[in-house]
């Protein structure tokens, strides 16, 4: 039952802001009315690790505060991204229902600004509790019934969001035969556009050792299918891009929560799709971080 959080209708949003006594709620609505959606742009987040307790701190980081800082920047960006995707580890540690209620609430202002929110899951999530807890979600019809698998079509690329969770709190990931078969079929049926593969676990060394049990089988599927241009992952809480021997871009999204290496940034990635590639801009939570504004211009393999 793959799900996502659709944008909340503007009529409902305006009704909320008109009845709200607090002036603070009106400001984003004026901004939302003014700025345009850029259909080629996306906000990519990973490893948000949200706890039901907004005061929860781990590794000297308040995860809720970090997500709020990222949310504020996305809501004040000059153009509205066409979607926001979180690449797993939504919940703090063990995928509790109350954590998912907090996650949903934290994304409400984004959805009220007409940005749909797509959620992937990681090893700190619990698939069933996630599906049961997110009441305002919509089911998508593009994936497998018992996994959080989705295909998202854009003008310049298709996103294939997979589910590499084996079991909550078990660190390594696995795509598995059923999803790999689905991926092969769906990639072949949509070979006319660049394909970007997105899921939680890292298939290669990137800040930490590769942590996907079927990375060999996955590369065998992806390398010969030339429409596959990039593979996005998270899990390592590290920002990095590299290319495999066939030219597929391997993009390690940074964490929004706490980095494992003290020098690594927390933040999100503003991305712009183009016919021939993709521009990625790192936006750090700490604006004084030396990697703030780091831009990677990815050129697609042919
Ligand atoms: Zn994580």
Q: What tens-digit pLDDT sequence spans the chain (302 residues)? A: 678 899 997 665 555 544 444 434 444 555 556 789 999 999 999 999 999 999 999 999 999 999 999 999 999 999 999 999 999 999 999 999 999 999 999 999 999 999 999 999 999 999 999 999 887 788 876 678 789 999 999 999 999 999 999 999 999 999 999 999 999 999 999 999 999 999 999 999 999 999 999 999 999 999 999 999 999 999 999 999 999 999 999 999 999 999 999 999 999 999 999 999 999 999 999 999 999 999 999 999 99
Q: How is the beta sheet containing 249-252 ordered, strand by strand?
A: 150-153, 158-161, 195-198, 228-233, 249-252, 240-243
Fill in the DSSP letter of residue 24.
Answer: G
* pTM score: 0.92
**Dist. CA 224 → ligand 1 center (Å):** 30
Per-chain residues with Cβ under 5 A from ion ligand 1:
47, 89
Domain count, the chain: 1
CATH number for position 257: 3.60.21.10
Q: How close is the Cα of 32 to the center of ligand 1, in Å? A: 31
CA of 132 to the centre of ligand 1 (A): 21
Dump pLDDT digits (tens) for 69-118: 999 999 999 999 999 999 999 999 999 999 999 999 999 999 999 999 99
- 237 CB contacts (<8 Å, ≥6 apart)? 47, 207, 254, 255, 257, 258, 259, 260, 261, 264
Find the 89 Cα to ligand 1 centroid distance in Å: 5
d(CA 212, CA 218): 10
**CB neighbour list of residue 10: distance below 8 Å, 6 or more residues apart:** 32, 114
Number of H helices, E strands in the chain: 7, 16
Yes or no: say if 207 and 169 are a contact pair by the CB < 8 Å rule.
no
Q: Which domain holds residue 112?
A: 3-299
Nearest to 240 by CA among 46, 54, 63: 46
**240-243 and 249-252: which strand pairing?**
antiparallel
CA of 73 to the centre of ligand 1 (A): 21
C-alpha count within 13 angstroms, C-beta hemisphere, residue 67:
30
Residue 27's region, left for phi above 0, alpha for psi from -120 to 50, else beta, is alpha
Task: For residue 39, report the distance from its CA to the centre of ligand 1, in Å.
Answer: 28
């Amino acid at each position: 039952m793959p799900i996502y959080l659709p944008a909340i209708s503007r009529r409902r949003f305006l009704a909320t802001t008109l009845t709200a006594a607090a002036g603070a709620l009106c400001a984003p609505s004026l901004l939302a009315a003014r700025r345009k959606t850029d259909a080629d742009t996306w906000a990519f987040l990973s490893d948000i690790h949200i706890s039901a307790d907004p005061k929860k701190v781990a590794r000297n980081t308040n995860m809720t505060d970090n997500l709020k800082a990222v949310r504020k920047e996305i809501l004040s960006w000059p153009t509205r991204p066409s979607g926001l995707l979180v690449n797993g580890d939504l919940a703090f540690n063990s995928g509790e229902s109350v954590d998912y209620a907090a996650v949903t609430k934290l994304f409400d202002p984004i959805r009220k600004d007409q940005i749909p929110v797509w959620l992937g899951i990681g090893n700190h999530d619990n698939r069933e509790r996630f599906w049961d807890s997110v009441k305002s979600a919509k089911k998508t019809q593009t994936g497998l019934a018992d996994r959080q698998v989705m295909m998202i079509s854009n003008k310049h690329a298709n996103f294939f969001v997979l589910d590499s969770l084996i079991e909550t709190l078990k660190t390594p990931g696995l795509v598995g035969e059923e999803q790999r078969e689905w991926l092969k079929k769906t990639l072949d049926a949509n070979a006319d556009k660049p394909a970007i593969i997105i899921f939680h676990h890292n298939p290669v060394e990137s800040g930490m050792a590769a942590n996907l049990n079927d990375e060999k089988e996955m590369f065998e599927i992806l390398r010969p299918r030339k429409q596959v241009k990039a593979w996005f992952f998270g899990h390592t809480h590290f920002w990095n891009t590299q290319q495999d021997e066939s030219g597929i871009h391997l993009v390690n999204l940074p964490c929004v929560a706490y980095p494992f290496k003290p020098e690594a940034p927390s933040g999100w990635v503003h991305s712009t799709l183009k016919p021939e590639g993709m521009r990625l801009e790192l936006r750090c939570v700490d604006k004084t971080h030396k990697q703030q504004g780091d831009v990677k211009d990815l050129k697609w393999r042919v």
